[in-house]
Structure 1
């Protein structure tokens, strides 16, 4: 059974069938899309259930010649990092689809494109996380820009077309630079006598350090824009503000993880010497992202833009852990991708519920809502506490591992990054205070609380945040299985322990 191809085919087929639903049958289009997203989730569970810890690095491998003369393959495989991100994507898609239901109605246009585009992006994201041919990865990396462009540009705020165009231009530029690097990498394989785009073949190449530097920068630029990392971040707040809340949730919570996945799964193992050489610079950029994103989030008056800036700060933590180049940091970063996805989707979805009631995304138009809508206030507070990494919620462990892993190599960066943790508490709690507490606005009294469908949307997110927070071992073990072999490609000298075991033993003997 070609499980990985089947996993990609399910949402792709769902996208086609949803698009073919007759005009005026919006409810049917929603039902078809949600059904196929749930089918994709079931297949993803079946795939991950077959993943064996300690076995081959890439499992369930499928490899068919695509253009044999050029060494291009339909090559898929799953490792621990990919398994974790496949799970995030499979869980997030039906949740976002259900959250889209009232948004599609509010747009007063045929919603089938709304849902068909979501399933198309899901299929492309699955392919990116599974691709073991670098050219195949590049193709889907670029192809997903098209449905995302239409998702942002067709539905949302008054400046949505500007935000969509900005998103497209930024990412197209990064993709074109990456294409040049992909071609350069292929030339290296030709020179070595084994023309191939297969990741396993390319990782085995002995590429000169000077060449590695240029190729690494080509890949890294595309991934830094996608993630995004400061100073390539400016498209994200605009896209988050102008897209519908569910679109913003999927973009920031899931789709952007392709960028950070590319850093750890492609850029680091393909160019280990260059990754180690540029790591200090990237760590500095990551720390700037953490503090800059948090500071700008504090000053926002638009709730969706505020969450967009928080994501820039969180992506800084993810990149920091990757380029600390320690196993603890990389494990924390991958876990952070999962936990940031869950908490950010929860925040955007709940803000979407608020906007649907008040028809405003401005903080100033809210206040005292917890008296009228206690359930909404409760889940908003829970999502906010998850975003600021309050223990024992899931984000706490990932943030702790990133800081601890970074401290092993870059102590100053780890210390400065903790400022972002303090600022996160400030912007989240201040947002909650301004919207949910204080005097009740005169026009708030008629606001309805969460309904059954809305509770059904947020319940899986709350359950997963709690489950990973209290029982993280299974997820961490799967991630570790992929992180270990990846970092083994990078020759980074392990730092000395903070306290020498022999010295400690000698002190004990003296006593």
Structure 2
């Protein structure tokens, strides 16, 4: 009997969210333990599924499940994963229990002792796994939109600062606008293709069959704008710093670390594979927008005085690298972009959590309110430094491999965008090291006297992320072994090939042998 792995991975946090919501008032500790247990159970389940994944399988999707939902309109509850979806589901499953640990002492001032917040985390986890696993376009759209509900309340109800409700509404309006465009495109895809099943729509040769060029380009835009807002990309990014700045750090981790990846994942899965001709036609506009996002996000990050907003703007820059890699359309750039999604989730997640530890101690996210922290809390400063160096893609840390692959693949596509993108690397060093200098070094501010170092619970929350950053920095191959076959399938579907090397390796080898003989 086949185990419905994906259904179980979605159902467990969904049922857990309901159980947490039904816990009687005054049982705050039970709420936290139950949430942590469910999230760890989900991680164990997803990990067991991942161990059974076969990267060399001839089939495109694995663990496929199809259940009729609305037969009259051909809508199914359909799940399945390839290597790209699998690594993103794993990333989400890793981050959720760490967010729960980090938020253990938060929300205790609310009237439900955080019960609502933890229930929303589990509900959101179920939707995140579902949206990456969905292979029915209509189901994907439903989950894409449904994720807005828990995030809206996590920001507006459980956020921080007087502007949290305004930030939540801004996030909601931007996302609903993009979702409306995508709904029109989803309906048009069904009319053209006669089905919502993704595997049937793309077909063996790639692309939505029977669609004229003009229609395909408009449908591409309908999906792309929705995904660009979710990602986010310049100029539809303005909701992100507001939402991140008004969120609890744990919410920011899930928002930037996981939810935003739905946008870049959607570009790979839907924009490219459903509309390959349109994707090729729009390559240069998207590349230009990606470069603007890289440089613009980095420049704005330098000028931020709020830690959470600064980290949010760094993510705008990083997502520029991801979209650049996707639309450079080489195997190296797309593998690097996918790996970047995972590594960015770990590195940025660590930065948000550590910033949250500082905010929990001092009640402020303002960079100017800190200074000399490394003298009082050397462990806290140490993990902050490692996470920050990962954010600027220091060699030896996980994001470096991702960024390097994006650069190499983009340079093979065209040298100019790759050269311009290096500006983002230089600026990254500036905003990360300057933030570290202003908060961790220098004389100790008087109001920080007595600041405690990293606690055991906090170490368990951030330690696994630091370990993963170090591990995948020196050994990224396990992830690439899973990602590369899926990227090759995508390249085939969009009829893209890697450019020929400027120097023939055989000629280079022969020249080397001649030099040796001489």
- TM above 0.5, yes or no, is yes
SS, match of residue 390 in structure 1 = coil
Q: For 2:26, which of 3, 24, 27 is the aligned residue?
A: 24
Alignment of 1:43-62 (within 5 A): 43-55=45-57, 56-62=59-65
- Match for residue 484 of structure 1? 488
Alignment of 1:249-398 (within 5 A): 249-398=253-402
Question: Whole-Å Cα distance in 2 between the matches of residues 507 and 179 of structure 1?
Answer: 57
Alignment of 1:182-221 (within 5 A): 182-189=186-193, 195-204=194-203, 205-206=208-209, 207-221=211-225
Q: Contact 1:363–1:431 (CA<8 Å) still a contact in 2?
A: yes
Q: Deviations over 1:321-345 (max 9, x none)?
A: 0001111011001100000000111
- 1:467 has 2:466 as partner: no
- Match for residue 192 of structure 1? none
Q: Deviations over 1:45-97 (max 9, x none)?
A: 11111100110210111112222232211111011001100110000000001
Q: Taking structure 1 as the reference length, what is the TM-score of the superposition?
A: 0.97
Question: Whole-Å Cα distance in 2 between the matches of residues 134 and 233 of structure 1?
Answer: 25
- Match for residue 133 of structure 1? 136
Q: Contact 2:25–2:112 (CA<8 Å) still a contact in 1?
A: no
Question: Whole-Å Cα distance in 2 between the matches of residues 509 and 93 of structure 1?
Answer: 54
SS, match of residue 101 in structure 1 = coil
SS, match of residue 108 in structure 2 = helix
Q: For 2:41, which of 39, 42, 59 is the aligned residue?
A: 39
Q: Contact 2:491–2:497 (CA<8 Å) still a contact in 1?
A: no
SS, match of residue 103 in structure 2 = helix
- Match for residue 12 of structure 2? 10
- Match for residue 234 of structure 1? 238
- 1:110 has 2:113 as partner: yes
Q: Contact 1:276–1:492 (CA<8 Å) still a contact in 2?
A: no
Q: Taking structure 2 as the reference length, what is the TM-score of the superposition?
A: 0.95
- 1:432 has 2:436 as partner: yes
**CA deviation after TM superposition for structure 1 residue 253, in Å:** 0.7
Supply the RMSD in Å over aligned alpha carbons: 1.4
Q: Deviations over 1:425-467 (max 9, x none)?
A: 1100000000010111112221111111111111111111111
SS, match of residue 465 in structure 1 = helix
Alignment of 1:67-82 (within 5 A): 67-82=70-85
SS, match of residue 305 in structure 2 = coil
How many correspondences in the alignment?
506
**CA deviation after TM superposition for structure 1 residue 504, in Å:** 4.1
Q: Contact 1:157–1:244 (CA<8 Å) still a contact in 2?
A: no
**CA deviation after TM superposition for structure 1 residue 497, in Å:** 1.5
SS, match of residue 105 in structure 2 = helix
- 1:400 has 2:421 as partner: no
Q: Relative to 1, partners in 2 of residues 1:290 and 1:138: Cα closer, same or farther, differing over 3 Å? A: same
Question: Whole-Å Cα distance in 2 between the matches of residues 329 and 171 of structure 1?
Answer: 28
SS, match of residue 418 in structure 2 = helix
SS, match of residue 23 in structure 1 = coil
SS, match of residue 317 in structure 1 = helix
Deviates more, 1:391-400 or 1:205-214: 205-214
Q: Deviations over 1:24-48 (max 9, x none)?
A: 2111111111110011001101111
Q: For 1:98, which of 94, 97, 101 is the aligned residue?
A: 101
Q: Deviations over 1:106-127 (max 9, x none)?
A: 5565311100101111101111
- Match for residue 152 of structure 1? 155
SS, match of residue 311 in structure 1 = helix
Question: Whole-Å Cα distance in 2 between the matches of residues 473 and 266 of structure 1?
Answer: 26
Q: Contact 1:99–1:246 (CA<8 Å) still a contact in 2?
A: yes
